[in-house]
Amino acid sequence: MANENEFDLIIQNADLVLSNPDNPSNFKIEKMDLGIKNGQISSLGTLSNLPTKEKFQGKGLTILPGLIDTQVHFREPGLEHKETIEMGSRSAVAGGITGFFEMPNTNPATLTKQDLERKIHIAENTSYCDFAFYMGAAQKNVQNLAALEKLPGCCGVKVFMGSSTGSLLVDNDDLLRQVLENTHRRIAVHCEDEPRLKERKYIAQNSNGDVSKHEEWRDEETALLATQRLVRLAKPMNHPIHILHISTQQEMEFLKTEKTGDLITVEVLPQHLSLESPDCYVNLGTKAQMNPPIRNTKHRQALWKALQAKVVDVIGSDHAPHTLEEKSKTYPETPSGMPGVQTTLPVLLNHMHRGHIGLTDIVRLMAVNPSRIFGIRGRGFIAPKYEASLTIVDLNKEMTIENQWIESKSHWTPFHGQKVKGWPIATLVRGQFAMRDGVLSKVPTQAFEFQK
């Protein structure tokens, strides 16, 4: 006969990164046991002598609320030769990520209810972690966005102000204003100024294969102009916006003065925090090509300064894989983007050991804020009745990131060969191990639920 008081799992004697849902900025780290039952955190404290189906020894390990990657491109449907939801989510859990928001620039683009439901169906059957999908904004669906953004499994609307990959483009203020008028939830925006990109495309076309010209073509002004236009349209309307992958000092200085509360939220990427030109283009060639581009030391340092000043709200990976064959073409015929979902946490933990970021900052930027800003139910905190989706790390484990470790279908990383300190040991999705000591398991997954 089943014991009603029996836990499904007790994690013993681990360091827990805790914050209060009513005061999420106040963190503490405490050593205790964590009990899980029916996919939820049931109890915290001294639980060693209580009945449980399974125990996990957490001594020497640190437990974070399950990290969420709010910007990935898993390429399915239509571009499965680059990535799939199955392989992308395997890469996620291998890197300690418990859930993802996936972008709409697939083939077909995610523009209708049917497009969204197709992705959800694929994810329900193949994903190794929980999920949600962005609805793309385009002229053809702008009048329907208010209904589309409320669909189950939709995390919001994505806007491309500059052409990046795919056919989605909102390149004029009239259409952007319509998007804002027809949505209520936070929209996520890729800010590059399309007229300036067109005007300066000759720089890439005349590059003679020099990929470092990518940074010159898609320059700081291209990013700043679009970010300023977006803010100046959205702010008077009091419309919440999430500005993706900020890459320049100028944007951060502008946003620092414009941000009030959570109306404007800001994302940065590990790539822009870790890599810099010209070295990245010398060492990685077209593997370093992405939009917006990797920039020089001045901009990288400005991003760190903004992160430490809490101008930055979220870290996402912008996982955007292409095959090595595609990347081996001659610039500018090469596609922009690189894998990232699996390496985000190890790279950030290594930055933590270098003194650039605190452990609680990682939790704030990848668990607490994604849950709070986007309104994900039951996520972001280690607390009773919250989902037992957890990221378990060994802060002192030293490893080398290698291509063969990468679960993504692309099987490469720009961080190949980098030695890091700090490593994901286990990934729990609603109480079950999706990854444990590097071994992956397919557990039941589902779409995130959002507050109305």
Q: Which residues are identified as catalytic?
A: 318
N- to C-terminal Cα separation, the chain: 40
Tokens of 349: 């933990």
| CB contact at 8 A, 399 and 55 | no
DSSP H helical ranges for 149-212? 173-181, 194-199, 201-205
| CB contact at 8 A, 391 and 64 | yes
> Would you call the peptide bond into 77 cis, given omega within 30 degrees of 0 as the criterion?
yes
Among 264, 258, 282, 421, residue whose Cα is nearest residue 345: 421
Q: Which residue has the tokens 């073509």?
A: 217
Distance of alpha carbon 70 from alpha carbon 68, whole angstroms: 6
Q: Say how many residues make up the chain.
A: 452
Distance of alpha carbon 200 from alpha carbon 332, whole angstroms: 13
Among 185, 155, 204, residue whose Cα is nearest residue 262: 185
Tokens of 262: 């959570």
Distance of alpha carbon 147 from alpha carbon 249, whole angstroms: 37
* Side-chain half-sphere exposure of 445, counting CA atoms within 13 A: 31
Among 192, 201, 213, residue whose Cα is nearest residue 331: 213
- Strand 241-243 and strand 187-190: the pairing is parallel
Angle, CA of 389, 391 and 395, to the nearest 5°: 165
Q: What's the chain's Rg over C-alpha atoms? A: 21
The secondary element (H helix, E strand) that includes residue 246 is none
Tokens of 162: 């500059």
CA dihedral 337, 343, 347, 349 (to 10 degrees): 150
